[in-house]
Amino acid sequence: MDDTEKLLRRDYASAAEAMKMLNVRAQTLYAYVSRGWIHSIAQKGQKEKLYLREDIARVEMRSLARSGHGAVAASAMNWGEPIFPTSITEITPDGPRYRGWLAADLVRSGTSFEAVAELLWTGDLNTRTDAWPVRKPSAELVSLAQTLASLRAGDNVLESFSLVVLLLGMRRGSVPDRLSQGQTLPAAREIMQTVVACCGFIGLTQKYRPMQKGQSIVEGLMHALAIPASAENSEALRAILILMADHELPPGTLSARVVASAGGTLHSCLSAALCATSGVDVGRMYDRIEDFLGQPGSKAVLVKRAGQLHARGLSVPGFGHPLYPRGDPRAAQLLDIARKRTQQTRQTRAIFQFIDEMRAASGLFPRQEFALVVLARAMGLPTQAPAALFALGRLAGWVAHVQEQRAAGTLLRPRAKFVEPKPGKLA
């Protein structure tokens, strides 16, 4: 078992394990499944189904909720009930809706990423939003970029983004000075343009490639990644950034709000969000999907790999989203763009056939992570690109959440319930 697998928990339980965990009979377990409380998946060639452990834990919390509010609060922190109000993004069966605008429609209408970012920040959609002014990088930023390039920053791309963001903040003065000056949106635009330039770390040149005057974020990305500035690539990148811009309260967003509630600067909030996103269950999920896909010669190869994971109680990385039991609309839209690419390889066709097989055999649908990896492969992007593009798009949403949290004026400080430690050595 490698180090990554040690970090992964078993995702599925057998029926016997599920009944033991919940202390219920088979009929009750099946009732929970029929109500949609617990998701089950079929195993090819076997009668017994597997049950998602996270869902089982949530049902267990529901039964404990009668004992008081503590159990309710605990379950809310894990795909549970909403914990505070937001006016930024609503999760709907058709995907995220930004300030009342469906993200999928914004992609289809040709809206620029800059206009979507401004929509998240101000609540107004101006489809004529121009490219943002580009600032010349400072000597300190160039020096840091050179250092990061020498350290193979592309292998730790989100952490590299975090360091660069912190430097941008430090150049704007002390924490009290930055908070008193405001300038949140100009700083946000500078941060995002700088992150675009840092995407050069994972491009062919593996160097920091600053945006040029008059370039849009998408145009700067194509320059940084050293890919053809074609309409096809532009459309794909614009769709990725818009669809990834916000999605309620994943770890990165929650981290940004926590730091904002404690009086942190925009740069500190975004740096914290990037670090929270860099773990194996979020930003590194794209790496896990890449490892799973490998170089598939056929659908059968991927089906066999999926079966081996299920046999060990592990999920196929990039499949099954708790908020979208009938499929992640963002993934469907990205996959549709990938299918329409002018060049289709044998490997790409095998992946699409595997997606169809997973839906038919197990009732599982791909998440945005899986679709983003597939589209990045179709575009010929490096393996680090999906995580970088996700983070770049999500920066727009994080800025909006920092603004909203500051306006709320409350400190996010949950309570912890002490339990006696179990005997044995602590890891």
Is 260 in contact with 407 (CB distance < 8 Å)? no
Binning pLDDT at 50, 70 and 90, where does residue 3 land? very low
Assigned architecture for domain 98-282+388-408: Orthogonal Bundle (1.10)
Pairing of strands 89-92, 101-102: unpaired
Look at residue 344 in the predicted model and tell me its pLDDT: 73
Options 3.30.460.10, 1.10.357.10, 3.40.50.720, 1.10.230.10; CATH for 285-379 is 1.10.230.10
CATH topology of domain 10-76: Multidrug-efflux Transporter Regulator; Chain: A; Domain 2 (1.10.1660)
Look at residue 79 in the predicted model and tell me its pLDDT: 59
The chain-wide mean pLDDT, for the chain, equals 89
Please state the rounded mean pLDDT for residues 158-177: 92
SS3 110: coil
Look at residue 81 in the predicted model and tell me its pLDDT: 63
Q: Looking at per-residue confidence, does 344 or 411 come out higher?
A: 411
| Token representation of residue 426 | 């602590």
Give the chain's radius of gyration (CA, Å). 22
Look at residue 5 in the predicted model and tell me its pLDDT: 43
Is 192 in contact with 117 (CB distance < 8 Å)? yes
266 pLDDT more than 70:
yes
Look at residue 64 in the predicted model and tell me its pLDDT: 58
Q: Which stretch, 28-42, 81-95, 128-142, 258-272, has highest mean pLDDT?
A: 258-272
Residue-wise pLDDT for 307-339, tens only, equals 899 888 888 999 999 889 889 999 999 999 999
Look at residue 72 in the predicted model and tell me its pLDDT: 55
Enter the pTM of the model. 0.87
Please state the rounded mean pLDDT for residues 348-367: 92
Domain residue ranges of the chain, discontinuous segments joined by +? 10-76, 98-282+388-408, 285-379
Residue-wise pLDDT for 105-121, tens only, equals 999 999 999 999 999 99
SS3 32: helix
Look at residue 7 in the predicted model and tell me its pLDDT: 41
| Helices 385-408/184-198 angle, 10° precision | 170
195 pLDDT more than 90:
yes
What percent of the chain is modeled with pLDDT above 70?
92
Binning pLDDT at 50, 70 and 90, where does residue 74 land? low
